[in-house]
Amino acid sequence: MSRPMRSAIGWVDFSSEHRDRVRSVLDLLGGASVLDELGIGSIRDSFSDLLFPGLSTIQTRAKYFLTVPRILKEYEGLSRRERGKTPLAGYLPERERDVMESLCRNHSGDGEDYTRLGIVGSKFYGRDRDAQRKPSAVYWNGLRTFGLVRSDRSLAEFVRTFADPLREIGDLLTATDQNDPDDGGADAHEPRVLVADREDDDEGWIASVRLDLTAAEAGLLKRQIETRVPESLLGRLMLDDALRETFLGPLADLRFADLYDEPAFTDPLPADLRRDLRTAGDFWRLLEGAHVRYNVLLQPKGTPETRDEAEARWAAWRAGLDEFPWDRWETDRLWEAAARAKRAVKPFTRTFVTQWIRAVRAGADEAALDALVSRQERLNKGPRARLREGADGRVDDWVGIDRLEYRLPQARTMVRDVDDGLARAEPAGA
């Protein structure tokens, strides 16, 4: 019996780094309201990288920053003969599957859905199929950013190189960043895969693994983050206990739009970090209007409900401009942020953002703003533009980016995991 054909997307595999990026994009496209219709994703990602480096929107729990290096360390301990029988390309996914199954078993009594708990690949628990996107791929950039795995290779390159069982792991795990504070004058025998000290049996660690961080694991992750990315907001949350307590306590439920200008949170920050935070928040306050206007323009294809929602949101956004802090706004900071994050912003997007902000500040009418939005969508989407003449397709929900969170939800989860782990080191009643 023949199997039904599945649709697929292909690309020329010039670089495994490019392949990792493509897969990240495909994962993101699996969620709702992620299509970047107006092309501002590179600016969003610039601030995300500066504020919360090493994180991504498809990461779930901090534990995987510890389990993946532990598997690599485990593989490092195998003999050449054992590595010859089981290349890393097979060993790593097999052990990651073991971790997933143990996590599901060990959290089976928690009364929560495994996916909601953040167990990667749990929808394949008890099934023959396996997740294509493993924690090692999802967390690899973060592992390198935080120095938990010291390699300048993409994961695919790293694994592919290990197809040679005679290659020593130390040859691959060598940091090349000249600005790496941990590498200056480091001992040549310094471990290049960092794992936390554990009290349980090394060989049986997967059987007892849980999502909760031990005190040793939390301490290691905290030290690596605050050492490697101290100028980021994520690094600051690790360095400043009081700020972390505020972040996880009174302000724990705030979205980015409410957090970025909250004095209780921003006042303790260094001036440069506070400026980045506010620029990111103010950027969305301004560009939200473009996305609202885009949805207004789509409403001839919409429903009465979507039309009413779009028009009401447009009126609210326009009214809110009366309180926008123009005195602190500088558009050039967007391009400075992109440069620092090593992100490329397309020239037509740069022109659109500059012209949109200038027009909004000057009080331009809706016709002028609509022209900017229509042109940008056409340049960004090409023949797939929804506003082009003759385009079809009913609109029954919001189209495109609804809000920017800059990885804040993921950061909050990671920081809480670390904070809970650190608390386990405190004596009872402390």
pLDDT digits over 140-188, tens only? 999 999 999 988 889 988 888 766 666 655 555 543 333 444 444 344 4
Query: Can you give the pLDDT at residue 158?
Result: 84
Q: Provide the phi-psi class of 407: left if phi over 0, else alpha when psi is between -120 and 50, else beta.
A: left
pLDDT digits over 301-342, tens only? 778 888 889 999 999 999 999 999 999 999 999 999 999 999
- Angle at Cα 154 formed by Cα 148 and Cα 158, nearest 5°? 80
Query: Can you give the pLDDT at residue 400?
Result: 93
Q: Which residues contact 358 (CB under 8 A, 6 or more apart)?
A: none
3-state helix, strand, coil in the chain (%, to 5): 55, 0, 40
- Structure-token match 């390159």, residue found: 157
Tokens of 181: 């504070």
- Is the pLDDT score of 52 beyond 50? yes
Helices 347-362, 366-381: crossing angle, 10 deg rounding: 170
pLDDT digits over 263-284, tens only? 999 999 999 999 999 999 999 9
Measured in Å, how far apart are the chain's first and last C-alpha atoms?
66
pTM for this predicted structure: 0.86
Query: Can you give the pLDDT at residue 7?
Result: 36
Tell me the three state secondary structure of residue 58.
coil
Of 409, 150, 366, residue with least CA distance to 255: 409
Tell me which amino acid residue 33 is.
S
Q: How many CA atoms lie less than 13 Å away from 148 in the CB half-sphere?
A: 33
pLDDT digits over 178-203, tens only? 344 444 434 444 446 666 665 444 67
Summarize the confidence of residues 59-88 as an average pLDDT.
91
CA distances from 311 to 86, 291, 314 (A): 60, 12, 5
Q: What percent of the chain has pLDDT over 70?
A: 81
Question: What is the band of 300 on the pLDDT scale with cuts at 50, 70, 90?
Answer: confident
Question: What is the band of 425 on the pLDDT scale with cuts at 50, 70, 90?
Answer: confident
